[in-house]
Amino acid sequence: MNLDDFSDLIERPDGGIRYDAEARRERLSVPVGALGRLDELGEWLSAAQAAVPVRPVERPRVVLFAGDHGVAALGVSGRRAGTTHELVRAVLDGASPVAVLARRMNVPVRVVDAGLDCDPALLPAEVVRRRVRNGTGRIDVEDAMTLDEANAAVELGMAIADEEADSGTDLVVLGDLSVGGTTPASTLIAALCGTDASVVTGRGGAGIDDLAWMRKCAAIRDALRRARPVLGDQLALLAAVGGPDLAATTGFLLQSAVRRMPVILDGVVGAACGLVAQRAAFRSPDWWLAGQLTGEPAQAKALDRMAVNPLLDHGVRVGEGTGALLALPLVQSAAALAAELPERPAPEPEAKEAADAEDGAGAEGAGGTEGAQGVEV
């Protein structure tokens, strides 16, 4: 697979529709600018849907790609290596932050096993079982996966995007479940932005102390040496320093843009995959929103490179799509306001004629004054 082929398949949201949405916004009863960024969100969604007025977001879904990362064995995460299955179970048992919010908002959650390293019997029955491989290699000293596995993972993400689009999902809240996943994500961002490891190394979702931060920084530094020789090939880059869950997320983002399905990104993992996808198809970020800033320096750098402005800044770093899900009501509110606010009534013909006559008289008077001033001078 050549990810560059997506460049010819992805178009931007309809510019003509967006112009119509902006024109409609100017006719609404609430003054332009009074709703702040909600106006922009409503117009963006209208262009993505190719509909004026915008349709309500009624069938959103949370999609989480899960995987374990071999680099976690170095002690770069606040969680033990190989325990992502515990996070998966917490989500599907309704005991994690994203599960609580999704239940409150009545949004279904779908968890995809792309690269967990556990006995499948440990996973709840609801997991989508599409595992490409068990965990990844340690990216500081070896490839995360083979090129064939990277290809299979991207195709997995594409297939999940098609399934969501075909089922009528009108917006996806995209997240990840992983232990050690912020290390490969930060490596990808540093490689694609041309920065050093120290610039992108954060504390991760679980939080780490200074010693663990130094180990993480060293792992990213070593992984960068392996990433730079393959920067020109996105698939090879994902194979070298990514992982099945990151490659699947990248494929999902690209195919979602092909299918014109809007996506809200969550944290640094989604931002890293978005950056890889942007390198393959430069129009693809036009289909995404950034739900929030997490405080991870790598995420901020990636969003800046993609020119995607986050909706919220609450410092939610727990992952799992939690911060992105918090932004969903904002998007739904923007759609509702754009669709349901009444337009200003058109002026009565007599009133319009009187206003036009008054404007003409005013202009004439102004011209006469100018003439008098000209004679005087």
Which of helix, strand or coil describes residue 107?
Answer: coil
pLDDT at 377: 34
CB pairs under 8 A, 24+ apart, for 124-129?
124/88, 124/89, 124/92, 124/93, 126/92, 127/66, 127/88, 127/92, 128/160
| 320 part of the active site | yes
How confident is the model over 114-173, as pLDDT tens digits?
999 999 999 999 999 999 999 999 999 999 999 999 999 999 999 999 999 999 999 999
Q: Which of 164, 320, 343, 353 is catalytic?
A: 320
DSSP per-residue letters across 342-372? PBPPPPPHHHHHHHHHHHHHHHHHHHHHHHH
pLDDT at 290: 97
How confident is the model over 292-319, as pLDDT tens digits?
999 999 999 999 999 999 999 988 888 8
Which of helix, strand or coil describes residue 294?
Answer: coil
For the chain, domain boundaries = 60-328, 349-377
Residue matched to tokens 């090129």: 147
Q: Which helix (H) or strand (E) holds 315?
A: none
pTM of the model: 0.90
pLDDT at 91: 97
- Residue 228 structure tokens: 């730079």
271 contacts 280 by C-beta, under 8 angstroms: no
74 contacts 111 by C-beta, under 8 angstroms: no
CATH 3.40.50.2300, domain 60-328, yes or no: no
pLDDT at 2: 87
Ranges of residues in the chain with a pLDDT under 70 are 205-206, 347-377
pLDDT at 353: 61
